Amino acid sequence: MRDAELLQSVLAALDHAPPDATVEVLRPLLADHLGATGVRLLLANCELTALRPVLDPDSREVLTDTPAGAAFVTQEPVTCAADGGGSGAGVTAYLPLTVRGDRIGVLQLTVPDPLAAAELRVLQRLAGVVGYAVQAAARHTDAVHRGSRSQRLTLAAELQWQLLPGRGSRATEYELAAHLEPAYRVHADNYDWSHDGDRLVLGVTDAARRGNVASLLTTLAVTAMRNARRAGIGLADQAALADQAIYAHHQGREYISTLLLAVDLASGHASAVLAGSPRLFILRDGQVLQAQLTDEGPLGMFEGTEYTEQEFDLVGGDRLLLVSDGIHAARSPGSEPFGGVRLPDVLRATATAPVGAVVRILIEELFRHRDLAELEDDAAVLCLDWAGRTTPAPTVRAEAAGATSAELRAMPTRLAAVTSLADRHSLPLSRGR
pLDDT at 330: 94
pLDDT at 112: 93
Give me the mean pLDDT over the 302-312 stretch. 96
The yes-or-no verdict on residue 227 having pLDDT over 50 is yes
Of the pLDDT bands very low, low, confident and very high (cuts 50, 70, 90), residue 213 is confident
Give me the mean pLDDT over the 149-157 stretch. 93
What pLDDT digit, counting tens, does each position of 409-431 carry?
Answer: 444 444 455 445 555 665 543 32
Q: Are 238 and 246 in contact (CB under 8 A)?
A: no
d(Cα 207, Cα 188) in Å, to the nearest integer? 6
Of the pLDDT bands very low, low, confident and very high (cuts 50, 70, 90), residue 433 is very low
pLDDT at 338: 95
**Residue with the larger pLDDT of the pair 89 and 14:** 14
How far is the CA of 424 from the CAs of 64, 277, 368, 421, in angstroms?
11, 31, 12, 5
**Dihedrals phi, psi of 22, to nearest 5 degrees:** -60, -50
pLDDT at 414: 45
What pLDDT digit, counting tens, does each position of 91-143 carry?
Answer: 999 999 999 999 999 999 999 999 999 999 999 999 999 999 999 999 999 99
pLDDT at 418: 47
pLDDT at 422: 54
Of the pLDDT bands very low, low, confident and very high (cuts 50, 70, 90), residue 85 is low
The yes-or-no verdict on residue 199 having pLDDT over 80 is yes
Please calculate the CA angle 281-284-289 and round it to the nearest 5 degrees.
Answer: 35
The yes-or-no verdict on residue 398 having pLDDT over 70 is no
Give me the mean pLDDT over the 387-398 stretch. 64
User: Which of 157-161, 221-225, 365-369, 416-420 is predicted with the least confidence, judged by mean pLDDT?
Assistant: 416-420
**Residue with the larger pLDDT of the pair 82 and 97:** 97
pLDDT at 367: 93
pLDDT at 410: 46
Give me the mean pLDDT over the 280-307 stretch. 96
How far is the CA of 19 from the CAs of 22, 23, 136, 142, 218, in angstroms?
7, 10, 8, 9, 31
User: Which of 169-178, 209-218, 416-425 is predicted with the least confidence, judged by mean pLDDT?
Assistant: 416-425
Give me the mean pLDDT over the 144-166 stretch. 93
Average pLDDT across the chain, whole number: 89
pTM of the model: 0.88
What pLDDT digit, counting tens, does each position of 18-45 carry?
Answer: 999 999 999 999 999 999 999 999 999 9
The yes-or-no verdict on residue 393 having pLDDT over 50 is no
User: Which of 41-45, 55-59, 258-262 is predicted with the least confidence, judged by mean pLDDT?
Assistant: 55-59
Burial profile 284-319: b = 16 or more Cβ within 10 angstroms, e = fewer: beebbbbbebeebbbbbbeeebebebbebbbbebbb
Q: Are 215 and 159 in contact (CB under 8 A)?
A: yes
Of the pLDDT bands very low, low, confident and very high (cuts 50, 70, 90), residue 405 is very low
Within 8 A by CB and 6+ apart from 222, the residues are 163, 190, 192, 203, 205
pLDDT at 423: 59
pLDDT at 412: 44
Domains within the chain, CATH numbers bracketed: 3-147 (3.30.450.40), 155-424 (3.60.40.10)
User: Which of 48-62, 152-166, 304-318 is predicted with the least confidence, judged by mean pLDDT?
Assistant: 48-62
Of the pLDDT bands very low, low, confident and very high (cuts 50, 70, 90), residue 356 is very high
